[in-house]
Each structure stands twice: as structure tokens, then as C-alpha cells.
Structure 1
Amino acid sequence: MRIRLIAMFIMIALFPYTVYANEHEWDKLDQISDEALQLTKNDRLQEAKQLLEYFEKQFALFREDIHSMDVIYVLTATHEEALRAVTASSVPTEQRINQLTQFRLAVDAVHSKHQPLWKEMKYAVMSAFDKMKQAMEQEDEQSFQQAFHQFLQRYELIEPSVKINADREQVQRVSAHISLLEAPAFRQLHATERMKELRQMEEDLQALFADGKKETTLPSLWWVMTSIGGMIVMTLTYVGWRKYRGEKEGKMVRDKQ
């Protein structure tokens, strides 16, 4: 009985209840966001709207457990844009789907930190960036601007998700590159300087997709198993030694009698 209590105490200490308390809720929210996106793609906007409103109610039940204001802000902002997209009839279909996709990816970024869906868009983002480089090498300004516009559209889909679970410094570096490319002064730079900037931006984009935010709040599963196993073994050894010592002392008392 004592060993069970010790093992339970170790489990509680290593895995706070809040981690499990929200797991089911996040599964539900993840599914809601995905269904809302599929409904939007099928032009079933009223049903998508109802799901998004339901999402808002469910999210409000445990948002206080989220200790990151960045996560709350991103989810709230992308949810509002998604709800507006399915509500306003004036929103173009492509933009509407993009807004729901952006929201879907953001929810997944919270729920799936190790392999989030936004990283699967690496090819789409980098292929647009490659077109930018090719246009720059050919000194074709019009093609460059078209490719840059395509790149921005694709990167904006994942930007909220990136802010949730990518390295903050990497995110800021990519944002700085984009701001420079959007500035009129970029066109005034020498071709060599412009290519240098694009190569550096490419490196930072690759690092962004390759980077995975390390879990600092929870130990790894292997470390946990080792720690728990070690504690239980130590406890069993101690209990066994106490039992052996007690039996030995009892035998000595009986022999003296």
C-alpha cells in the first residue's frame, strides 16, 4: 500500500493535473476546427458558423488554464477572423477558406507541438520562395513581385501557428526579412545585396521549419520512466531491508529466550 502511494505521489508531481485536464478538451477543439474548415470548403457556411460559435463557448471553459497570453491572443484573433469569414457574404471564397485554414492550423499548433500541421506546408512556402530567387537572378522585377505575393499568401496561413510553437527569435528574423522586402528601399539596393538578403532569408526559413520548441515544463518520457522506476526500486529495497532486519531481530530475541 505504501509503495502505491509513493508511486502515485511521484506521478502527480511529475505530471501536473492540468496537463491531462485539458487533453480531452483540446482533442474536441481540434476536431471542431477541422470540421469547420471542411464545412467551409463545401460552402456550408451556416453550419461552419455554428461550429465556430460552439468552439468559442468550449474554449472559454478552460482558457484560464492557458498560461501563455500569446496562445490566447493568437487563437482569439484567428477565431474572430474565421467567424467573420463565414458570416460576411462579401468575403471571397478563397479568402474565406484561407481564414479557416489559418485558424485550423493555429488550433493544431497548440495541440500538436512536436509535429504541427503548419510544418507540412514547408514545400508550398519554399517553392514560392524559390520562384522569388529565380526571378531575382534573372532580374525580372515583375515576376519577383508576383512570386513574393504568392509567398506572402502562403506564409500568412502559417504565421499565427508559427508564433505559437516556433522559436521566437527565428520568427522575428523571418518577419524582419519580410518587412525589408516590402519596403521601397529594398528595390534601391544593388542586385548583389538583394541576393545576399534572400540567401539569408532562405537560411532562416529553413531553420524555422526545422526548429521544434523544446518542452521545458515537462521531463521527457524516458526520464520520467527512469525516475519512477528508480524511486520504486529504492522503495522496494528499503521495505525489504526493513522486513529482513525485523525478522533477524525477532529471531535473535527468540534465540535468547
Structure 2
Amino acid sequence: MMVGKSSFIFFASIALFFASTVQAQHEDHMVYVDVYYESLCPDSIKFFTKQLYPSLQTNLSHFVNLTLLPYGKSDYTTVQNQLEFTCHHGPFECEGNKIQACALALIEKGQPSEGLGYNRITVGFINCLMDKVDRQTSNTTFPLKECAEINQVTNYVDIDNCAHHVDGSKHLSTLGELTKNLKPPLTSVPTIVFNKQYRKEDSDLAQENFVRALCQYIHHDKPAECSGSSGLKTSFTILVLLVSLAFAKLF
């Protein structure tokens, strides 16, 4: 027996309802995650490449509204209308921080990827920079071209120019002011803040198990990554039952 037009509309309506419900769940339960870190800090690199970035390759990505602040324990002063930075791990870190600040501002104009609370390309590019950086005391180099090719960043030349221009200093100083506004003041790097409220135990936990720290703040319809079972799976099961009942009525 063929399914008529009215039945097609019914199934389409169910699908649209399910999709809108899932999207609403994501928006309602999105967790704000602010990461205060430094481009050459070993602990920052470890957190970003071993905890944060891998977690964002899962369904958890839809529950994260991410803000990256590559500044840490840096400082700056204004000398003859020029911004001069000093950084925790030396001048090369200042360069790395500026590169990342420019990437955050320039890749896809800083806009989040559709359905995510951050830009996927930017996060991938920064993860690559931190993972592949050649940390040397005398001549640290950042693999901009290599990471741009891996992550399909077409304007990496603009990012490099920005980092060595006054624009890079301005972008980094903005991140510096945001870092200085953290309450209580930043004392360790990286510092991870959930939902705009700093709790040392959450920050410490995130560095060892970001998934566990994040899942504490997802209160309903937790994804499978949180507990091995998913509220979304339950919703899908309901959808299947509804469709099955609808088909039963047709035959």
C-alpha cells in the first residue's frame, strides 16, 4: 500500500518536530566554557590537545559555548602609543598568543559554526598550532602554513600579518582585559571556567577529565558521552514508536 500525501506530511511533521526539539535541547542546555591559557604553556598544550579538542570531536560539541582567551599571565604596557607585552614563557609566547588572538578574530570573521557555540575551523587550527609548535628557547616557530592546510584556513597569511601588526596587539590586549576581569583573579594556567562562575575544583577536574567536568553542567538529556546512555536516544526511540504506530494505522 502506497503512502499518501497526507501521510507524507505527517511523517515530515514528526521529523521536523524531532529536529526542532533536539535543537532546543542543545540551546537550553549549552554550557559556557571559558578557557584562560597560554600558547606555549605545557599544561595549556596538554589540556587543549588531550582534553578539550578531542572532546569537541564528539556529540558534546553541541553542548559547549566556548570562549578561548590565549593570554594567561601575560601583561602589557603602553610605550609611546605602542603596546608592549611580556609573557609568562617569553617573547615567543607573546607571538603565539597574538597569532591565536588574530585567528580568533579573522577566521570566518570569528563567527561560530552552524549549530555550535564556537568556530570549528578556528578551534582545529589553534589545536594544530599548539600540538605541532616547535618549542625552542632560541627560535620557537609556529606552523601556520601546515596547520592552515590541515584545517582549510584560507587566510592564514592575513593572520600572520595581523600578529606582526598593531592589530594583533589590539586583539591580544582585549583578551588581556577580559583575563584581568576574571574573579577571583587568575593564578594558574590553564584556568577553565564553567557558566561564568570560577570553581577551582571544576578547573582542576577539567584538566584531568574535561568530559566529566562538563557533564556536571548538562542537567537534562545528557549525551551518551556523559553516562553511556543518552536522552537523545530516548527521544529517537519515541520517534520510532510514533512512526511505527502511524504505519500500523495505514495498513
TM-score, normalised by the number of residues in structure 1: 0.30
- If asked which structure has higher relative contact order (CA below 8 Å, sep 6+), I would say 2
Higher strand share: 2
Q: Which is higher, the Rg of structure 1 or of structure 2?
A: 1
TM-score, normalised by the number of residues in structure 2: 0.30
